[in-house]
Amino acid sequence: MSVTPDTLSFIQQAGQSIDAARQALVEAVAQQGKVVASAVVEQPFGAVNDKLFAQWKTLARLAQEVQSIEDQFKAIYETAVGLKACDIQVLVALPHVPRQKGPARTHLVDDVAVEDVVVRSKGVKKAPKRKNAKVKVGTSPQTLAGNHAKVLDFFRTQLNRKSWKPLTHATMAKGSGIPAGSVGASLARLKKEGLLLADDKGGYKLA
């Protein structure tokens, strides 16, 4: 069973919610760190300091776990993109030719054979047009729109085809002007289209 566009949209929305939760936890960790630092300065040996520090460690661990879940969700989305349903072309049915008896049947077969030869001949002449039609139907960089196009434009200002450059999702989101939760989907699309290369160290370059 193929994945529908609606399913991909739901997965993307879930990923955006996870990213929002991660950012909220990161901010909570930073705020709790300030509280711990202030408490230590005011009362170095205060009994409440250990509790505050334990809360800070718990928040930090939660932020790391949510980050791990977000990374897994990005992989899930990329897999789902590969299972997206393709459009199926519906062929128009040929008109039904009733059978006839006797000589008329032989004459009918001859007419069909002649028409078939003419259709094949025209098909050969129109081969270049048919080839151009396939190029238009296929996915190309010109069909990219929305967030995908914004991320690609950002990469073209930051990357080249010779050297790897490390970029974080936050940097991509800020530079392209899209939500951080949508960066993973755009990366998957650009990789699928053969426009972007990525290494296992967080580096990117144009394909």
Torsion of CA 150, 154, 155, 157, to 10 degrees: 140
Asked whether 52 and 35 are in contact (CB, 8 A), the reply is: yes
Amino acid letter, residue 86: C
Instruction: Express each pLDDT in 83-133 by its tens digit.
Output: 875 544 445 555 555 555 555 454 444 444 444 444 454 444 555 555 444
Domain range summary for the chain, segments of one domain joined by +: 5-82, 146-206
Instruction: Express each pLDDT in 153-184 by its tens digit.
Output: 998 999 998 898 998 888 888 888 888 888 88
Tokens of 92: 């128009």
Phi and psi at residue 27, in whole multiples of 5°?
A: -65, -40
Q: Which of 126, 108, 207 is nearest to 160 (CA)?
A: 207
Asked whether 204 and 155 are in contact (CB, 8 A), the reply is: yes
Q: What is the mean pLDDT of residues 27-47?
A: 86
Question: Which pLDDT band, with edges at 50, 70 and 90, does 134 fall under?
Answer: very low
Tokens of 205: 């370059």
* Strand bridging mode 196-198 / 165-166: unpaired
CATH for the 146-206 domain, from 3.30.870.10, 1.10.10.10, 1.10.150.120, 3.40.50.720:
1.10.10.10
Q: What is the mean pLDDT of residues 179-200?
A: 86
